[in-house]
Protein backbone atom coordinates (compact mmCIF):
# COMPACT_ATOMS: atom_id res chain seq x y z
CA UNK A 1 0.00 0.00 0.00
CA UNK A 2 1.38 3.35 -1.01
CA UNK A 3 1.87 5.57 1.98
CA UNK A 4 0.55 8.58 0.09
CA UNK A 5 -2.71 8.18 -1.82
CA UNK A 6 -4.27 10.77 -4.10
CA UNK A 7 -7.74 11.00 -5.54
CA UNK A 8 -8.98 11.26 -8.12
CA UNK A 9 -6.38 9.91 -10.52
CA UNK A 10 -7.82 11.92 -13.40
CA UNK A 11 -10.08 14.94 -13.31
CA UNK A 12 -11.71 16.82 -16.17
CA UNK A 13 -13.42 20.14 -15.56
CA UNK A 14 -14.91 23.03 -17.45
CA UNK A 15 -13.32 26.43 -17.20
CA UNK A 16 -14.57 28.27 -14.15
CA UNK A 17 -15.33 25.20 -12.05
CA UNK A 18 -14.11 24.73 -8.49
CA UNK A 19 -11.59 21.89 -8.29
CA UNK A 20 -10.70 19.69 -5.32
CA UNK A 21 -7.87 17.17 -5.24
CA UNK A 22 -7.40 14.99 -2.18
CA UNK A 23 -4.34 13.48 -0.54
CA UNK A 24 -4.32 10.94 2.30
CA UNK A 25 -1.25 9.59 4.02
CA UNK A 26 -0.74 6.69 6.37
CA UNK A 27 2.23 7.91 8.39
CA UNK A 28 2.58 10.71 10.88
CA UNK A 29 4.11 13.75 9.26
CA UNK A 30 5.16 17.24 10.21
CA UNK A 31 4.36 18.86 6.86
CA UNK A 32 2.98 18.04 3.45
CA UNK A 33 4.05 19.25 0.03
CA UNK A 34 1.93 20.01 -3.01
CA UNK A 35 3.67 20.18 -6.38
CA UNK A 36 2.59 20.91 -9.92
CA UNK A 37 3.98 19.14 -12.97
CA UNK A 38 3.39 21.01 -16.20
CA UNK A 39 2.54 19.22 -19.46
CA UNK A 40 6.10 19.92 -20.56
CA UNK A 41 7.36 17.94 -17.56
CA UNK A 42 8.72 20.64 -15.24
CA UNK A 43 7.91 20.29 -11.54
CA UNK A 44 7.38 23.24 -9.23
CA UNK A 45 6.57 23.38 -5.55
CA UNK A 46 3.21 24.98 -4.79
CA UNK A 47 2.85 24.66 -1.04
CA UNK A 48 4.38 23.24 2.08
CA UNK A 49 1.99 23.19 5.00
CA UNK A 50 1.93 21.70 8.45
CA UNK A 51 -1.42 22.98 9.69
CA UNK A 52 -4.51 24.88 8.65
CA UNK A 53 -4.65 26.50 5.27
CA UNK A 54 -2.43 28.31 2.78
CA UNK A 55 -3.55 30.39 -0.19
CA UNK A 56 -1.69 31.52 -3.28
CA UNK A 57 -3.80 33.23 -5.90
CA UNK A 58 -6.57 30.84 -6.92
CA UNK A 59 -4.93 27.88 -5.20
CA UNK A 60 -5.79 26.91 -1.64
CA UNK A 61 -4.27 24.03 0.30
CA UNK A 62 -5.67 22.68 3.55
CA UNK A 63 -4.42 20.02 5.89
CA UNK A 64 -5.86 18.08 8.83
CA UNK A 65 -2.94 16.45 10.62
CA UNK A 66 -5.17 14.39 12.93
CA UNK A 67 -7.13 12.92 10.03
CA UNK A 68 -3.98 12.57 7.88
CA UNK A 69 -5.65 14.33 4.97
CA UNK A 70 -4.94 17.31 2.78
CA UNK A 71 -6.83 18.95 -0.06
CA UNK A 72 -5.79 21.23 -2.88
CA UNK A 73 -8.51 23.52 -4.21
CA UNK A 74 -8.48 25.60 -7.37
CA UNK A 75 -11.08 28.33 -7.66
CA UNK A 76 -12.29 29.64 -11.02
CA UNK A 77 -10.28 27.01 -12.89
CA UNK A 78 -8.64 27.92 -16.18
CA UNK A 79 -7.19 25.79 -19.00
CA UNK A 80 -3.71 26.90 -17.95
CA UNK A 81 -4.30 25.01 -14.66
CA UNK A 82 -4.16 21.77 -16.66
CA UNK A 83 -1.29 19.82 -15.12
CA UNK A 84 -0.49 16.90 -12.85
CA UNK A 85 -0.76 17.78 -9.17
CA UNK A 86 1.36 15.75 -6.77
CA UNK A 87 1.34 15.58 -2.99
CA UNK A 88 4.34 14.38 -1.04
CA UNK A 89 4.88 13.54 2.61
CA UNK A 90 8.19 13.22 4.48
CA UNK A 91 8.90 9.77 5.85
CA UNK A 92 11.66 8.85 8.24
CA UNK A 93 13.24 5.45 7.71
CA UNK A 94 16.42 4.19 9.32
CA UNK A 95 17.24 7.59 10.70
CA UNK A 96 17.03 9.37 7.37
CA UNK A 97 14.14 11.34 5.96
CA UNK A 98 12.80 11.26 2.44
CA UNK A 99 9.77 12.52 0.59
CA UNK A 100 7.21 9.91 -0.43
CA UNK A 101 5.24 11.05 -3.45
CA UNK A 102 1.70 10.29 -4.49
CA UNK A 103 1.08 9.09 -8.03
CA UNK A 104 -0.42 12.42 -9.01
CA UNK A 105 -3.77 13.71 -10.18
CA UNK A 106 -4.00 14.67 -13.83
CA UNK A 107 -6.23 17.72 -14.20
CA UNK A 108 -7.62 18.82 -17.55
CA UNK A 109 -9.57 22.06 -17.70
CA UNK A 110 -11.49 22.55 -20.92
CA UNK A 111 -12.39 26.02 -22.23
CA UNK B 1 19.75 32.50 -11.46
CA UNK B 2 19.33 29.39 -13.59
CA UNK B 3 18.06 27.35 -10.63
CA UNK B 4 18.51 23.63 -11.25
CA UNK B 5 19.68 22.53 -14.68
CA UNK B 6 20.08 19.05 -16.11
CA UNK B 7 22.01 17.78 -19.11
CA UNK B 8 21.20 16.15 -21.39
CA UNK B 9 17.45 16.63 -21.87
CA UNK B 10 17.03 13.49 -23.96
CA UNK B 11 19.17 10.42 -24.55
CA UNK B 12 18.80 7.05 -26.20
CA UNK B 13 21.14 4.27 -25.13
CA UNK B 14 21.63 0.68 -26.13
CA UNK B 15 21.61 -2.00 -23.46
CA UNK B 16 25.02 -2.19 -21.80
CA UNK B 17 26.10 1.35 -22.66
CA UNK B 18 27.08 3.78 -19.95
CA UNK B 19 26.28 7.43 -19.44
CA UNK B 20 26.37 10.23 -16.90
CA UNK B 21 23.58 12.69 -16.18
CA UNK B 22 24.69 16.04 -14.86
CA UNK B 23 22.74 18.18 -12.43
CA UNK B 24 23.85 21.68 -11.51
CA UNK B 25 22.35 24.21 -9.10
CA UNK B 26 23.34 27.80 -8.46
CA UNK B 27 21.39 28.37 -5.23
CA UNK B 28 24.17 27.20 -2.90
CA UNK B 29 21.96 24.35 -1.68
CA UNK B 30 23.48 21.68 0.53
CA UNK B 31 21.08 18.90 -0.37
CA UNK B 32 20.63 17.35 -3.79
CA UNK B 33 18.53 14.43 -5.00
CA UNK B 34 18.05 12.20 -8.01
CA UNK B 35 14.57 10.82 -8.72
CA UNK B 36 13.09 8.70 -11.43
CA UNK B 37 9.52 9.01 -12.64
CA UNK B 38 7.76 6.10 -14.31
CA UNK B 39 4.18 5.90 -15.65
CA UNK B 40 1.65 5.09 -12.94
CA UNK B 41 4.18 5.57 -10.16
CA UNK B 42 5.16 8.45 -7.97
CA UNK B 43 8.62 9.96 -8.05
CA UNK B 44 11.10 7.58 -6.45
CA UNK B 45 14.37 8.59 -4.84
CA UNK B 46 17.47 6.99 -6.37
CA UNK B 47 20.31 8.63 -4.42
CA UNK B 48 20.78 11.81 -2.50
CA UNK B 49 23.54 13.97 -1.09
CA UNK B 50 23.61 16.02 2.10
CA UNK B 51 26.69 17.98 1.12
CA UNK B 52 29.83 18.10 -0.98
CA UNK B 53 31.64 14.79 -0.94
CA UNK B 54 28.73 12.82 0.56
CA UNK B 55 26.17 10.54 -1.05
CA UNK B 56 23.55 8.10 0.23
CA UNK B 57 21.22 5.51 -1.22
CA UNK B 58 17.56 6.20 -1.70
CA UNK B 59 14.66 3.92 -2.47
CA UNK B 60 15.84 2.48 -5.82
CA UNK B 61 19.65 2.77 -5.99
CA UNK B 62 20.54 -0.45 -7.83
CA UNK B 63 22.21 0.08 -11.18
CA UNK B 64 23.12 3.70 -10.46
CA UNK B 65 26.10 5.49 -8.95
CA UNK B 66 26.45 9.11 -7.95
CA UNK B 67 29.14 11.61 -7.10
CA UNK B 68 29.12 15.05 -5.50
CA UNK B 69 32.66 16.36 -5.98
CA UNK B 70 31.50 19.97 -6.04
CA UNK B 71 28.68 21.46 -4.02
CA UNK B 72 26.87 22.74 -7.09
CA UNK B 73 27.01 19.50 -9.10
CA UNK B 74 25.45 16.08 -8.58
CA UNK B 75 26.20 13.40 -11.16
CA UNK B 76 24.16 10.27 -11.78
CA UNK B 77 25.90 7.43 -13.58
CA UNK B 78 24.60 4.34 -15.30
CA UNK B 79 27.47 1.90 -15.76
CA UNK B 80 25.60 -0.67 -17.85
CA UNK B 81 22.20 0.56 -18.94
CA UNK B 82 19.22 -1.79 -18.94
CA UNK B 83 15.76 -1.35 -20.52
CA UNK B 84 14.31 -1.18 -16.98
CA UNK B 85 16.16 2.12 -16.57
CA UNK B 86 14.07 3.75 -19.28
CA UNK B 87 12.50 6.61 -17.36
CA UNK B 88 12.41 10.34 -16.81
CA UNK B 89 15.07 11.44 -14.35
CA UNK B 90 14.68 14.51 -12.19
CA UNK B 91 17.29 16.22 -10.10
CA UNK B 92 16.27 18.42 -7.19
CA UNK B 93 17.97 20.50 -4.55
CA UNK B 94 17.04 22.05 -1.24
CA UNK B 95 18.66 24.38 1.26
CA UNK B 96 18.49 21.74 3.94
CA UNK B 97 16.91 18.35 4.27
CA UNK B 98 13.77 18.11 6.20
CA UNK B 99 10.08 18.13 5.77
CA UNK B 100 9.79 21.86 5.79
CA UNK B 101 12.24 22.68 3.09
CA UNK B 102 11.15 23.27 -0.46
CA UNK B 103 12.78 21.18 -3.17
CA UNK B 104 13.61 22.83 -6.47
CA UNK B 105 13.46 20.55 -9.48
CA UNK B 106 15.36 20.47 -12.73
CA UNK B 107 13.55 20.11 -16.08
CA UNK B 108 14.15 16.37 -16.31
CA UNK B 109 16.08 14.01 -18.59
CA UNK B 110 14.15 11.53 -20.71
CA UNK B 111 16.22 8.37 -21.09
CA UNK B 112 15.34 5.48 -23.33
CA UNK B 113 17.34 2.24 -23.18
CA UNK B 114 16.84 -0.06 -26.15
Partner-chain contact B43 A50, CB within 8 Å: no
Residue closest to A49 by CA, chosen among A29, A67, A66: A29
Mean pLDDT computed over A1-14: 90
Least confident window among B35-39, B41-45, B56-60, B99-103: B99-103
Q: How far is CA A13 from the centre of its chain?
A: 17
Contact B11, B74 (CB under 8 A): no
As a dihedral over the C-alpha atoms of residue A92, residue A93, residue A99, residue A103, rounded to 10 degrees, the angle is -120
| Residue B56, pLDDT above cutoff 70 | yes
Contact list in B for residue A31 (CB cut-off 8 A) is: 99-100
What pLDDT score was predicted for residue A94? 65
Provide the 10 A C-beta neighbour count for residue B76.
22
Contacts of B107 in chain A (CB under 8 A): 41-42
Q: Within 10 A of A42 (CB to CB), how many other CB atoms are there?
A: 14
Contact (CB<8Å) A96/B56? yes
Distance from CA of B109 to the nearest CA of A (A): 10
> Which positions in chain A touch B61 (Cβ < 8 Å)?
none
Phi-psi label, residue A42: left if phi above 0, alpha if psi -120 to 50, beta otherwise:
beta
b (16+ CB within 10 A) / e for A31-41:
bbbbbbbeeeb
Contact flag B100-A101 (C-beta cutoff 8 Å): no
pLDDT recorded at residue B101: 78
* Cβ atoms of B68 and B78 closer than 8 Å: no
Mutate to test the interface with B, among A5, A10, A45, A105 (most CBs of B within 10 A): A45
More confident call, B19 vs A26: B19
In angstroms, the Cα distances linking B33 to A14, A46, A61, A106, B43 are 37, 19, 25, 24, 11
Q: What is the rounded average pLDDT of the residues A77-96?
A: 87
Name the minimum distance, in Å, from the CA of A88 to any CA of chain B.
9
Which CA distances in Å does B7 have to A83, A89, B21, B60?
24, 28, 6, 21
Distance to chain A for B23, nearest Cα, Å: 15
Contact A109, A82 (CB under 8 A): yes
Q: Scanning every residue of chain A, which has its alpha carbon at the shortest distance from the alpha carbon of B98? A: A97
User: Average pLDDT of chain B?
Assistant: 93
Chain B residues inside the 8 Å CB shell of A2: 42
d(CA A10, CA B30): 36
**Residue B47: other Cβ atoms inside 10 A:** 23
Spacing of C-alpha A86 from chain mean position: 5
Amino acid sequence: KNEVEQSPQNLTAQEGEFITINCSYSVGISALHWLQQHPGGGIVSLFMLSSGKKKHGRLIATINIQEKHSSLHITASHPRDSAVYICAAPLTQGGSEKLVFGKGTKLTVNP
Amino acid sequence: NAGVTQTPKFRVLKTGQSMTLLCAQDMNHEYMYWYRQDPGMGLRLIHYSVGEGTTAKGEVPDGYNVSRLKKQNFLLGLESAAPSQTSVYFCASSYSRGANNEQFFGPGTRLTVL
